Structure 1
Amino acid sequence: MNAPPDTAEAVRAATRADVARQAGVSTAVVSYVVNEGPRRVAPETAARVRAAIEALDYSPNLAARALRKGTSEMLGLVVPDVTNPFFAELAQAVQRAAAQRGFLVTLSSSGSRVDLERELVADLTTRNVDGLLVSTVLTPETLHLLPRPRRPTVLINVSAPFAGYAAVGSDARQGAYDLVDHLLGVHGHTSVALVIGESAERLPEPRERGFAEAFAAYGLPPGPVVRTEFSRIGGYEAIRQVLGWRHRPTAVLLSSDQQASGAYRAVREAGLECPADVALVAYDGTSESEFCWPPMTVSRQQVDRMAQTALEAVLDPRNTPAHQQLPTELVVRRSCGCA
């Protein structure tokens, strides 16, 4: 009597041919349904194929499919902090833009750590992704610390060119200028502080340059600058410091919505009101700025356009400018004093 076959050998994974037999179609038709083309399949036939796939628990061989098609239809995205509302919205925008082109996105967070960013880029490069989008924490001078990816790579959310890389970002200098110009020109403030986080940009950082240039346009010296973390705690602690000054400013520009969230708490804890006691404005313009109270006046980054531009750059690197800078939009709400 023969011994029963080994269980691992007896359970054979379903093949494309198995699906074709069960659905009563050719293997080519199964491929057309799985790959959504190149030929159209009648809805009734496609429904039979999908039912057979489910019944047989069929999984296409993705590695073989990628080799056959010449693409894995996968992209890697590395951001510094997925808990930051801006990067959360940016990641969603990249996923939407990728899906429109039939691509999936693998998202990783570097925690704003150079060593982890290097590891993630190196790891994603070995995983057969078709391209990388990286919001780097490195400066143009230190980017050589990043392993040179063997894939098309686009730096995203950067305001200046990075030698050797395609880069996409917002005009942060103009965004900050527009906010300060609004505070000085519309509301008559003469004392405005800047709360700014550590950045991968060259110093002075673009938002700091725009801040100073707006004061210069009114013949005024720039207001004080407080450097802190790009975080809610950073914004909270910076505003507590500012509110403790003997001659405190009447308005504050925060360099991110995340900092602004902490700033609101510090103002309320001090028993003050925004904008009656101190006006607050911010750079980023995520949905968080719209739903805080009072709603925040912001320079809004065009996140969807940034994602679309970055996708076009990584998928067509030969026809991509070295650096593409996108305009920001001034969105006036109540936190500056406008009704």
Structure 2
Amino acid sequence: MSESTSSGPVFVLNAGSSSLKYRLVDAATGESSAAGTIERIGEQGSDVPDAGTAVRQALEQLREQAGVTPAVVGHRVVHGGDRFDAATVIDDSVEQAIDDLSALAPLHNPANLAGIRAAREALPDLPQVAVFDTAFHRTLPAAAATYAIDADLAARYGVRRYGFHGTSHRYVSRAAAAFLGRPVQATKLIVLHLGNGASACAVDGGVSVETSMGITPLEGLVMGTRSGDLDPAVLFHLHRQAGLGFDELERMLNSGSGLKGLTGSGDMRDVRAAAAGGDIAARIALDTYAHRIRHYVGAYLAQLGALDAVVFTAGVGENDAATRAESLAGLEGLGIRVDPQRNAATATGARRISPDRAPIAVLVVPTDEELEIARQSVAAVAAA
């Protein structure tokens, strides 16, 4: 890689079905010189008809804000299946592989791919890198990754636990180890990424050994609009008794469940306000949300055998003190305690919210997925 490429900024793109988030990041310093979001892509009445137009607009905005041209383009890609275990420089074969994996992530990979194709067309001379949400979890041991269904059928159709939010879990686990003043290779952590999507990850020595999301981002914790763990027979029951088809069931589990299904709103702030006003359904939803997290913390402590810290991150994890306290309530006997004053204090950076002498630290560590994508993109180009 040329000196200009290694020292230049990274244009990080997160392409969704109707939006494009971008940020220009210096991978060495972490500083951002431009950022923005383009919304309503392809919607009726929008002046952004497709991903190509969105990428071109983002580039124009980037040049207006920062006045520089990026050296590398880093793309967030949700599903890398069992094909990708690290950030990968994109060529035609990688693009085709991402397309092939759309069967595993039909709500995400096609949108990610549209952004990649648009950026490759708009910036044909720049190296472009795919950073996969699933890559960090490719280290899961077979016992953690395997579903107990027909083995031949699972192998034929790629049915296994892949895990998601890997970019965040990787960044946060390293940042947490740095906060503790220890090498990540010498830490055992449980990272709780709590946003609209939510997942837990057991990280042993910097390596993912267990995670709550599965073949898709639907499994695991209660989320804003996703159900998380569910007896599969619920789907059979609703199909037979309520007459719901598979498309309806998929939409319900992904878009009409979780906090939204329980209360009518998928926004934790709305649910907490309703509970404070005496709404019983909202209170039950909050209790269910915390109960599921506590279940995973206990399970992952058992898997790890020892624990240095529980780490909260993402929108809810970083900003909702009540969720943090409720999720760990009752775990004092395991050495996990939250200090009420530290937890309630207004702060934005990495911080400890457990008592100093608690045997297991409880931390809040802001995530920075764009910086992690930038760093991995530069490393991938350097290694190519």
Larger radius of gyration: 1
TM-score category by the smaller chain? 0.3 to 0.5
Instruction: Give the alignment's TM-score, normalised by structure 1.
Output: 0.38
TM-score by structure 2 length? 0.34
